[in-house]
């Protein structure tokens, strides 16, 4: 059963610490998205990659957030330094247009709490 895997599922950290969230997209998917979900803002697109190249990261605060795809099986989202306002659920999703499919498949998310 192919699925997007995110780790960790939960993370509690102190303000100022570095946080790294990881995502394993579905094998064969060439596009990876990072979304952030909060009660106030709903789902916000942070960044996305196609064939491991960043296409749009305009949704990310550049001074503290960074997203990379070291290889086709791993995407990372890093926050350094973290702040309480970064507390949210971060979702990774992957997709591919092969076969006419247009949907994105979501992981279960990483719930981040910054205290």
Partner 1 sequence: GNSVTQMEGPVTLSEEAFLTINCTYTATGYPSLFWYVQYPGEGLQLLLKATKADDKGSNKGFEATYRKETTSFHLEKGSVQVSDSAVYFCALRPNSGNTPLVFGKGTRLSVIA
- Residue 53 or 71: the one with the smaller Cβ distance to partner 1 is 53
Beta pairing class for 31-38 and 105-106: unpaired
Interface ranges with partner 1 (CB under 8 A): 4, 30-31, 33, 42-43, 45, 48, 50, 56, 91, 93, 95-97, 100, 102-109
- Residue 10 or 85: the one with the smaller Cβ distance to partner 1 is 10
Residue 12 beta carbon to partner 1: minimum distance, rounded to whole angstroms = 16
- Residue 34 or 86: the one with the smaller Cβ distance to partner 1 is 34
Residue 104 beta carbon to partner 1: minimum distance, rounded to whole angstroms = 5
- Residue 49 or 114: the one with the smaller Cβ distance to partner 1 is 49
Residue 16 beta carbon to partner 1: minimum distance, rounded to whole angstroms = 28
**Which H, E and C letters describe the chain, residue by residue?**
CCCCEEECCEEEECCCCCEEEEEECCCCCCEEEEEEEECCCEEEEEEEEECCEEEECCCCCCCCEEEEEEECCEEEEEECCCCHHHCEEEEEEEECCHHHCCCCEECCCEEEEEC
Residue 30 beta carbon to partner 1: minimum distance, rounded to whole angstroms = 7
Q: What are phi and psi of 88, to 5 degrees?
A: -175, 180
């Amino acid at each position: 059963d192919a699925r997007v895997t995110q780790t960790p599922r939960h993370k509690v950290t102190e303000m100022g610490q570095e946080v790294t969230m990881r995502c394993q997209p579905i094998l064969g998917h060439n596009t990876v998205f990072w979304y952030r979900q909060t009660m106030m803002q709903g789902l916000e697109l942070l960044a996305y990659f196609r064939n491991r190249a960043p296409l749009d990261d305009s949704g990310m605060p550049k001074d503290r957030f960074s997203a990379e795809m070291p290889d086709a099986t791993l995407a990372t989202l890093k926050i350094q330094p973290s702040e309480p306002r970064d507390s949210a659920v971060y979702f990774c999703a992957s997709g591919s247009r092969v076969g006419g499919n247009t949907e994105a498949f979501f992981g279960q998310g990483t719930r981040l709490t910054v205290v």
